[in-house]
């Protein structure tokens, strides 16, 4: 019997040494064909084709171990592992919206989610409109008679607005509208979407779950009512993930709590330090009391992670900011985040927005604060900031 606390679950879920000669970690199953003992067995299995071990694409003991561990952490019925975080998002959307339906997307969502709605769903007859992240219960004003799904992401992974998740899911539930949420920033350790009324929770496991910048992976956790429709469509779409990457996800879970505690602490320290620098006009971090969504973070979240942003003074032009980021040695310039290492990403043009135009002047710098010693990180930023001035 596993303990109830998430740290204990993280440490043991999916492991069964007694079934594997005492070896702590489960073996990695590489599989396509699964040999059946009889025709009767084969025919019996075909009644529930996506259950059990029948074909590599539908699931193996390796994928099931990872799915069950994440589902337990998210407090869901079951989960579906996918080949990337974006694949988790597109699979969950394709499973539940159809021609004639309307999708409500949060205006600050991860950009490829927006592209999927505009380039793929539009061609399938699904209309998309956007709502402000800070809408709360006024989401009702954006709902149309054919709204099928409300998509949440909190905080936004560029601008970090917090959403009032329970207020939105309450309205959705009253009207029979499904909700899904990209929960990558918080991970299931710091926020549990399903407990706040969301039907489908998405993790880009590429980020904190894998945690070492060496695999692409996604996972969708579902409530019982929506799991089988989701699993069926995922199977029909051919969604599956490579066994070695799934294993890296499972292994990443073991140290997730320890890594996040350090990311959290380091990011808060770096954010505080940056807030006292004259080059910085604003720090955008949901776990700081000056953040407009701080009360929501405090009410609903158990912690904060390593990703936040600052706005630089508008006197620093693209050339100055380029000098700055290129002179950082520890903060690398690169996509993604959630690995052990620190990253810095400048955004020189305003993000695409529909109903909440980006008003802030000055370059937004997004930082992912890693596991390096904070003193070294502060020193790196201090050297970098000098280069803003020429
Ligand atoms: C990175 C990211 C994704 C996509 O994950 P991939 O594994 O890169 O496909 C989705 N949502 C958020 C918030 C992300 O940061």
**Residue 143 pLDDT > 60, yes or no?**
yes
Distance 368 CA to ligand 1 centre (A): 14
Question: Does 210 contact ligand 1 (Cβ within 6 A)?
Answer: no
pLDDT value, residue 3: 65
Question: Does 213 contact ligand 1 (Cβ within 6 A)?
Answer: no
- Measured by CA distance, the residue closest to atom 7 of ligand 1 is 85
Query: How far, in Å, CA of 358 to CA of 326, rounded?
Result: 26
The values of phi and psi at residue 365, to 5°, are -110, 125
Is the pTM higher than 0.75? Answer: yes
Q: What is the pLDDT of residues 363-384, one digit of tens each?
A: 999 999 999 999 999 999 999 9
Average pLDDT over residues 300-323: 98
For the chain, what percent of residues have pLDDT higher than 70?
99
Distance 171 CA to ligand 1 centre (A): 27
Distance 65 CA to ligand 1 centre (A): 22
pLDDT value, residue 24: 93
Active site residue 386: no
Average pLDDT over residues 5-23: 90
Question: Does 203 contact ligand 1 (Cβ within 6 A)?
Answer: no
The continuous run of DSSP H or E covering 292 comes out as none
Residues 6+ positions from 337 with CB-CB distance below 8 Å: 207, 306, 307, 343, 368
87 CA closest ligand 1 atom index = 9
Distance 44 CA to ligand 1 centre (A): 38
For the chain, what percent of residues have pLDDT higher than 90?
94
The SS3 assignment for 326 reads helix
pLDDT value, residue 195: 98
Question: Does 184 contact ligand 1 (Cβ within 6 A)?
Answer: yes
Active site residue 182: yes
Question: Does 157 contact ligand 1 (Cβ within 6 A)?
Answer: yes
Query: How far, in Å, CA of 300 to CA of 194, rounded?
Result: 12
Query: How far, in Å, CA of 194 to CA of 103, rounded?
Result: 20
pLDDT value, residue 159: 95
Catalytic residue among 29, 58, 110, 208: 110
Distance 85 CA to ligand 1 centre (A): 5
Beta strands in the chain (DSSP E): 78-82, 102-106, 127-131, 147-153, 178-182, 200-203, 218-222, 280-284, 307-312, 343-347, 364-368
Q: How many residues does the chain have?
A: 390
């Amino acid at each position: 019997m596993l303990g109830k606390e998430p740290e204990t679950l993280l440490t043991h879920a999916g492991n069964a040494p007694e079934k594997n000669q005492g070896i702590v970690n489960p073996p990695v199953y590489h599989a396509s064909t699964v040999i059946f003992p009889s025709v009767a067995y084969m025919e019996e299995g075909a009644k529930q084709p996506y259950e059990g071990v029948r074909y590599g694409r539908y699931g193996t003991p390796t994928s099931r171990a990872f799915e069950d561990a994440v589902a337990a952490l998210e407090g869901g019925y079951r989960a579906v592992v996918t080949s990337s975080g974006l694949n988790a998002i597109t699979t969950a959307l394709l499973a539940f919206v159809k021609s004639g339906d309307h999708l409500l997307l949060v205006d600050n969502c991860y950009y490829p989610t927006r592209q999927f709605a505009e380039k793929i769903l539009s061609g399938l007859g699904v209309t998309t409109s956007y709502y402000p992240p800070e809408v709360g219960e006024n989401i009702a004003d954006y709902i149309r008679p054919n709204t099928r799904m409300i998509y949440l992401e909190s905080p936004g992974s560029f601008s970090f607005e917090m959403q009032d998740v329970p207020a939105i899911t309450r309205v959705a539930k009253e009207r029979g509208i499904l909700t899904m949420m990209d929960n990558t920033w918080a991970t299931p350790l710091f926020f549990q979407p399903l407990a706040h009324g969301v039907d489908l929770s998405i993790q880009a496991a590429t980020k904190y779950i894998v945690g070492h910048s060496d695999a692409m992976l996604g996972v969708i956790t579902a409530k019982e009512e929506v799991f089988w429709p989701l699993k069926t469509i995922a199977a029909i779409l051919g969604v599956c993930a490579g066994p070695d990457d799934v294993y890296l996800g499972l292994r990443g879970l073991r140290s997730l709590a320890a890594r996040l505690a350090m990311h959290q602490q380091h990011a808060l320290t770096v954010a505080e330090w940056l807030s006292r620098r004259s080059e910085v006009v604003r720090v955008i971090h949901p776990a700081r009391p000056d953040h407009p969504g701080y009360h929501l973070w405090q009410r609903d979240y158990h912690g904060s992670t390593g990703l936040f942003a600052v706005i630089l003074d508008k006197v620093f032009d693209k050339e100055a900011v380029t000098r700055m980021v290129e002179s950082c040695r520890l903060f690398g310039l690169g996509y993604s985040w959630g690995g052990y290492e620190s990253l810095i990403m400048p955004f020189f043009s305003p993000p695409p927005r529909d109903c909440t135009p980006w008003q802030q002047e000055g370059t937004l710098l997004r930082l992912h604060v890693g596991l390096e010693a904070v003193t070294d990180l502060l020193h790196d930023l201090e050297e970098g900031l000098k280069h803003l001035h020429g």
